[in-house]
Structure 1
Amino acid sequence: MKSRPARPARRPVRTAAALAAAVLLAAGATACRSSAPAPAGPAARPAAPGSTAAPASTGAQAAKTVQIGRSAWWGGLRFDVKSATWTPGQGGEYTVVLDTAVTNTFTATAIRSWPELALDLAGTPVDGDPGSAVPPVPGATDPLPITFRGHPDRGRPFAFDGASLVLGGAGTAQGVVPLGQGGRAAVSLKPVDLRPSGTSLTSGRLTLNLKSAQLRADFGDGNGITTLKPGQRAVLVVFDMKGAVGPAGMAVDGTALRLKLPGGQEVGPTAAPIEAIYPDRPLRQDQAAWFVFSGATDGDYTFSVTDAPSPAAAVELTASGLAGSGPLS
């Protein structure tokens, strides 16, 4: 592969500390169909059903487009991959351009940079180039063409079968979108909404009113510091917090919060509010607590708050279909 001009090193995703309560989620995954590589010769093979061959041609081979219709999540962004177009070049080089739409699923949190983008070709990665595009503003969706430039490996022509878009670097949870048959298995990293048994918890002076709860496979905290590893999950609970306090007020931090997993293990938050509550400022809105752990399963996750020495108050957060978003171990 010919070398390309060096691009600035990617910075890790950094988001604001206050993660908004609403996370816009929309699964847009449909099955994809692949087409075989265009044969060498004076005319290209017709596109496979469900795909559209581009009219332009270079040399003996014509550009080819296949429809994808799959989605994957990473770092709060949702990538909807619409189609992929392969275009041959000089000397055996080729270009693959993915037509994607990218949504910032946070409604009040900026995302500053892209994840690592690569095209996996039967185990060989080819770096992707998003050009000068920047991630969309909170709640917005922008078009994003991602360009990959490569060279046939050992004389083998490029094929959509066996090729996959990969979001995220090695050693992290990766979203995977196959472009054809074979290759890496699809991994959406789609967040899963949790069903709460109640919405209000009161322990002593402290009351939490739940606004949302999710189990995420793509992101580990509201500051973008915790990139999840393969098999890890993060439970995100967003709530309003109110204290019935005297003149001295009270301090609240992560020591008051716990999450018990379906298997009985109890974990504390990896990120949580640190707030002081006073009689004239008793309410703190849109607070976020994150719990990162391994060994997630379907079942009931128990979220609790304790204003010692008062007893804990708890709600059950029920999860199902976790394996659909990616490997659990």
Structure 2
Amino acid sequence: MAVWVLSSLLLVMAAAAATPVVNGDGGGLTVGFYRESCPDAEAIVRKVVADAVRNDPTTNAPLLRLHFHDCFVRGCDGSVLINSTETNTAEKDAKPNHTLDAFDVIDAIKEKLERKCPGVVSCSDILAIAARDAVSLASKAVTGRRWSKASNMYEVETGRRDGRVSSAKEAATNLPDSFDGIRKLTTRFASKGLDLKDLAVLSGAHALGNTHCPSMAKRLRNFTAHHNTDPTLDATYAAKLRRQCRSAGDNTTELEMVPGSSTTFDAAYYRLVAERKGMFHSDEALLRNAVTRGLVYEYMRSEESFLRDFGVSMVNMGRVEVLTGRQGEIRRTCALVN
């Protein structure tokens, strides 16, 4: 990605992030929240994420996914990180979250931040910053895996505090599902204050990462009483996936979300959607609405537009139902309520 492209993205994001988000008790989100209280906070997050991605390039996708799954349940409050107890089954143990990963990276970041600035940086902010850093590392905007301030795809608003409640039942109810159609997706996103453009843009996160055969099983076999295979899935691509996934319960075989570039963040995902080769039914659903369909074709034509809009929508999602000011807490350990 040319330097001028990244510069234009940053100008747009600076404008989008300039206005703090204020919650009921007067606290708010803002870029640079830890500038005085823990000035090295974002640099510490960045270093741990960069090391993790260097050791395993597939780490960027689960770090991005953790932030998504956190924000759609009780808002962006770090509740996806809390462990279950004898009396409570937490979000991370809900069925949709069984494949979540990279908790160890978040724990490593938190440990370093607690040594540097005890009790200052929230786990929910760590998730937001780590997601930004992971997707930036996977983008062509970063060359040679060298970091600088200009290498950020967008600026992260911080100032979130951590929630004390985590419920597997709430996760099962609120998280978007890979089999969702456009109406259900629209409703789920609208419930979080996110619109059709956010839906189309944030679906682009499927440019990163892998999935496993069980997530595709229904689309490939026994889709309905009338169709063995989901008719919205390209027939040739479906046949290829069936050869890879000979068993619906195969949890070993990994399927690249974007074959050949599952660790690179770009607009290639939208070409697959347009060709009816999106991995999930929820990907194909983007073609079932005039607004989201138009955005699919726009992002096919202009990767710059996609990267710019992705940053804006990530900021929008990062504002969902946040706790700020005196709300919530700053967890000492991300997996445990204080």
Structure 1 or 2: more helix by fraction? 2
Structure scoring higher RCO (CA < 8 A, sep ≥ 6) equals: 2
Q: TM-score, length-normalised on structure 2?
A: 0.25
Tell me the TM-score normalized by structure 1.
Answer: 0.26
Bigger Rg, which one: 1
